[in-house]
Copies of this chain bind each other. A is one copy, B any other.
Amino acid sequence: MKTPVSALLTILLSTGSAFAVNAPLSPATEECISCHLSVNPGILADWEKSRHAKISPMEGLKKPRLERRISAEKVSNELVHTAVGCAECHTVKPERHKDTFEHEGYEVHVVVTPQDCATCHPTEAKQYDQNIMSRAHGNLKNNPVYHSLADSINGIQSFKDMRTILSPPDAETEAESCYYCHGTAVEVKGEKSRETTMDEMVFPVLSGWPNQGVGRLNPDGSMGSCAACHTRHQFSIEMAREPHTCSQCHKGPDVPAYQVYMVSKHGNIYSSLGKEWDFKTVPWMVGRNFTGPTCASCHVSLIITEEGEVVSDRTHRMNNRLPWRIMGLIYAHPHPKSPDTAMIKNNAGLPLPTELTGEPVAEYLIDGKEQENRRKALQRVCLSCHGSAWVDGHWNRFENTLKTTNEMTLAATKILFTAWENGVAQGLAQNESIFNEAIEKKWVEQWLFFANSTRFASAMSGGDYGVFANGRWYLSKNIQEMTDWLELKIKGANTVERRSNND
């Protein structure tokens, strides 16, 4: 069933939508809409609410520089005067897209990529390409240590003759597990004919689809998905500034940023008063548009004061203001220099930024001066609402916590070493997986969950998150449980010797 575009526009204009006609639709987009309005009504209605539907790139280019959401200096004539509709994104640069297919007379591609978005947003695409997130697929896939961790989690275990057997994970599991956030490899695997509401049509068959992971490998060779944060088809800056967006990937015990934020004073301010904030204005005025930070205000957004002074620049390289990497790896350490981390090697030959005993591998990591630059850049944001003594006191505690959580990780690592040495577990000494046995999994939780949560709680003032909610309580308990197990395995039961001491 085709809806004439004029009828559509009548609907659009009559239903109270704030649709503004200063951005005419291109003929191609009109044609897309004429069918997809009934095939995917939710997509259309959602897009109607977007800025893309309301303002042409030309209108965007006229804004004062600080107010611009478009970073291109110039947009080609064929795109600059119309709304950014279906065709503008799904038919751009067709030759670079392996997923391009012929569809009702157009060369359409399914997967819109950062390279497509770069048509109008080149600065953001370029920054993002230097963001460690854009490499999240390869940084996992090409790191044998991390790959072995992933396999031990996603593989299927069976039990026979008092042993477990691990089979490698299938592609479907991997796609919805680690690569859900890290990004899948989306590849064209052929084509397929399908009966549609119109008639039979041919579509490309894609592996790893659907996916919106931050490091997705796209059919045009680019990496990432802007829709990870700027959710299609509103692509709203409001949504990217809301903390819930970051929670899609940063909420679990391995990276509890959102949980910690929500229990912090900052999260409380957001939850209690955020309903009255303006999440859409560019630039974002501290105290005026928002009275407490979200993830974006500290790590991404262009922030100005009431007096028009820039507090921090917009960046899509999100570790620009982060001196330390506090999660995901065994020990906290300075951020890696390159977004590609799979090529890092420590002295023991493992692809890790520290030794298993915690020493950082300096050559791959930013130095103290770069750390200080990043620290200062983030502290400028803090100082908008806090005095210097506050900020210094906070950072002093945070960096102390990196030290203490590294120490608590080291203690657990030494217990594991002892288990390997005594042969009650099979690991490095035996050239075996270091992640697949019960005691090894306790060790993983020490750093991946508990050290990590304690650090996030410290970084963002999460209070109890660093104690009972998933922090020091578990760090301390885990060491005792590992010791208890080790003693039982090596010495057997009825061991009455003192195991711990407080002197």
Q: How far is it, in angstroms, between the C-alpha of A278 and the C-alpha of B306 when the chains are bound? A: 29
Q: Does A466 belong to the interface (CB within 8 Å)?
A: yes
Contact B162 A253, beta carbon cutoff 8 Å: no
Q: Pick the residue among B254, B466, B469, B472 that contacts A251 (CB under 8 A).
A: B469
Interface segment among A39-47, A70-78, A352-360: the answer is A39-47
Q: Please give, as numbers and ranges, the residues of chain B lying within 8 Å of A163 by CB-CB distance.
A: 483, 498-501
Q: How far is it, in angstroms, between the C-alpha of A459 and the C-alpha of B170 when the chains are bound? A: 17
Q: How far is it, in angstroms, between the C-alpha of A37 and the C-alpha of B471 when the chains are bound? A: 38
Q: Pick the residue among B181, B268, B493 that contacts A248 (CB under 8 A).
A: B268
Q: Please give, as numbers and ranges, the residues of chain B lying within 8 Å of A415 by CB-CB distance.
A: 159
> Residue of B at shortest CB range from A234?
B291
Interface segment among A20-28, A122-130, A237-245, A331-339: the answer is A237-245
Q: How far is it, in angstroms, between the C-alpha of A239 and the C-alpha of B500 when the chains are bound? A: 45
Q: Which residues in window 455-495 of A have CB below 8 A to B?
A: 457-458, 461, 463-469, 471-473, 476-477, 479-481, 483-484, 486-495
Interface segment among A52-60, A315-323, A341-349, A432-440: the answer is A432-440
The minimal Cβ–Cβ distance linking A139 to chain B, given in whole angstroms, is: 16
Q: Does A114 belong to the interface (CB within 8 Å)?
A: no
Contacts A156-B407, A231-B268 given; indicate if A465 touches B252 (C-beta within 8 A): yes
Contact A493 B491, beta carbon cutoff 8 Å: yes
Q: Pick the residue among B194, B273, B473 that contacts A234 (CB under 8 A).
A: B273
Q: Which residues in window 201-230 of A have CB below 8 A to B?
A: 203, 205-206, 209-210, 212
Q: Please give, as numbers and ranges, the residues of chain B lying within 8 Å of A432 by CB-CB distance.
A: 498, 502
Q: Does A426 belong to the interface (CB within 8 Å)?
A: yes
Q: Does A164 belong to the interface (CB within 8 Å)?
A: yes
Contact A158 B210, beta carbon cutoff 8 Å: no
> Residue of B at shortest CB range from A241?
B272
Q: Please give, as numbers and ranges, the residues of chain B lying within 8 Å of A196 by CB-CB distance.
A: 388
Contact A397 B181, beta carbon cutoff 8 Å: no
Q: Does A102 belong to the interface (CB within 8 Å)?
A: no
Contact B41 A286, beta carbon cutoff 8 Å: yes
Contacts A436-B500, A487-B162 given; indicate if A493 touches B492 (C-beta within 8 A): yes
Q: Please give, as numbers and ranges, the residues of chain B lying within 8 Å of A13 by CB-CB distance.
A: none
Contact A153 B467, beta carbon cutoff 8 Å: yes
Contact A480 B436, beta carbon cutoff 8 Å: yes
Q: Does A177 belong to the interface (CB within 8 Å)?
A: yes
The minimal Cβ–Cβ distance linking A361 to chain B, given in whole angstroms, is: 23
Q: Which residues in window 289-313 of A have CB below 8 A to B?
A: 291, 305-307, 309, 311
Q: Does A49 belong to the interface (CB within 8 Å)?
A: yes
Contacts A41-B307, A164-B411, A209-B389 given; indicate if A291 touches B438 (C-beta within 8 A): no
Contact A386 B484, beta carbon cutoff 8 Å: no
Q: Does A6 belong to the interface (CB within 8 Å)?
A: no
Q: Please give, as numbers and ranges, the residues of chain B lying within 8 Å of A495 by CB-CB distance.
A: 424, 489
Q: Does A106 belong to the interface (CB within 8 Å)?
A: no
Q: Does A173 belong to the interface (CB within 8 Å)?
A: yes
Contact A244 B231, beta carbon cutoff 8 Å: no
Q: Does A32 belong to the interface (CB within 8 Å)?
A: no
Interface segment among A61-69, A259-267, A364-372: the answer is A259-267
Q: Does A144 belong to the interface (CB within 8 Å)?
A: no
Q: Pick the residue among B156, B253, B397 that contacts A469 (CB under 8 A).
A: B253
Q: Please give, as numbers and ranges, the residues of chain B lying within 8 Å of A481 by CB-CB distance.
A: 438, 441
Q: Does A383 belong to the interface (CB within 8 Å)?
A: yes
Contact A449 B476, beta carbon cutoff 8 Å: no
Can you show 6 pairs from A to B with CB atoms below 8 A apart?
A15-B306, A41-B305, A46-B291, A180-B467, A210-B389, A252-B464
Closest 5 pairs between A and B when the two form their complex, measured CB to CB? A45-B287, A42-B385, A252-B464, A41-B305, A42-B384
